[in-house]
Structure 1
Amino acid sequence: MTEAREAFLAGERPEDVALFLADSYVSDDRLAEYGDAVEGGVLIVIDGERGRNAFKAATGTGAMEFARLAMEHEGIIDDDLAGGTCPDELEDGDHDTQFVFAFAEEQNEEVGGIYAEGDVVHAYAQCTCGTAYSDRWAVQD
């Protein structure tokens, strides 16, 4: 695991975003040069602006547009950001994660709830069945 990915998952890079792109979704071997090859794809940690642009280039959708859509369905995204569990997986069809977009938000005790517990990772995923879903969690020491 690269230092950038490890720091992002620890909530230490709130200015960056993380992108997971499944091999079945994007077949560009050059992507591994920019991130970590993980089971089923590549995970890239990149500064926020470049990451949002890369997300749009790879998916054809704006990152924040996608996040708003994904927030309509809660699912489970793996804490390593390299997959998840679609909330519609009990329905017929394939349910593999195509891509994940994530960012971290620093702890904010004034907001309360999960934000008072520590830094929070917000993650948004797209399933092969067409469902976009979201998850978030407080980073644990």
Structure 2
Amino acid sequence: MSNPREEFLAGERPEDVALFLADSYVSDDRLERFGDRVEGGVLIVVDGESGRNAFQAATGTEAMQFAKSAMELEGIIDDDLAGGQCPEAPTDEDHAVQFVFAFAEEQNEDVGGIYAEGDVVHAYAKCACGTAYSDKWNAADA
């Protein structure tokens, strides 16, 4: 693989973070220079420190603070990081993902559970309704 997005989603870039910014949330064509155009927005994969700074610049929220608050509520985030299902809504109507912050963690058999099975992608999303939620999955299962 030579595509940073594909490598990230496969769990092969644990030093990087991924950011999805929906067109409905940020309308800046310059973002495409830094990432890939995907349905509904732009997905950017960058080194961890740059990614956290970019996330804060784009959302006005510190990345790890956002992740901590989003961990309180589990939802479903698409494995391509470009959408999801808000746990506060039975349908997608008025509940579109505004942004996603994600990182991958390498397999860790000592921790057990999902971490023993392979690399894990942790994803945190913010819905248009204001709800923040999280999801995680084995990269190999995506």
TM-score range, shorter chain: over 0.9
Confirm or deny: 8 A CA contact 1:93 1:129 kept in the other structure: no
Alpha-carbon shift at residue 39 of structure 1 (Å): 0.6
CA distance in 1, matches of 2:103, 2:91: 29
Q: Kindly tell me: are residues 138 and 91 of structure 1, through their superposed partners in 2, closer, same or farther at Cα, counting changes over 3 Å?
A: closer
The one-letter code matched in structure 2 to 1:72 is: E
| Same amino acid, percent of matched pairs | 78
- Map 1:1-141 to 2 at 5 A: 3-90=3-90, 94-140=94-140
TM-score normalized with structure 1 length: 0.96
Structure 1 stretches of 5 or more lacking a match?
A: none
The one-letter code matched in structure 2 to 1:6 is: E
CA distance in 2, matches of 1:119, 1:48: 17
Alpha-carbon shift at residue 90 of structure 1 (Å): 2.8
The one-letter code matched in structure 2 to 1:44 is: I
1:98-117, Cα deviation, whole Å (9 max, x unpaired): 00000000000000000000
TM-score normalized with structure 2 length: 0.95
1:90-132, Cα deviation, whole Å (9 max, x unpaired): 3896100000000000000000000000000000000000100
Structure 2 stretches of 5 or more lacking a match?
A: none
Confirm or deny: 8 A CA contact 2:114 2:120 kept in the other structure: yes
Question: What is the DSSP-based 3-state SS (H/G/I as helix, E as strand, rest coil) of the residue aligned with 2:46?
Answer: strand
Aligned alpha-carbon RMSD (Å): 1.7
Aligned residues: 141
Question: What is the DSSP-based 3-state SS (H/G/I as helix, E as strand, rest coil) of the residue aligned with 2:140?
Answer: coil
Q: Kindly tell me: are residues 75 and 2 of structure 1, through their superposed partners in 2, closer, same or farther at Cα, counting changes over 3 Å?
A: farther
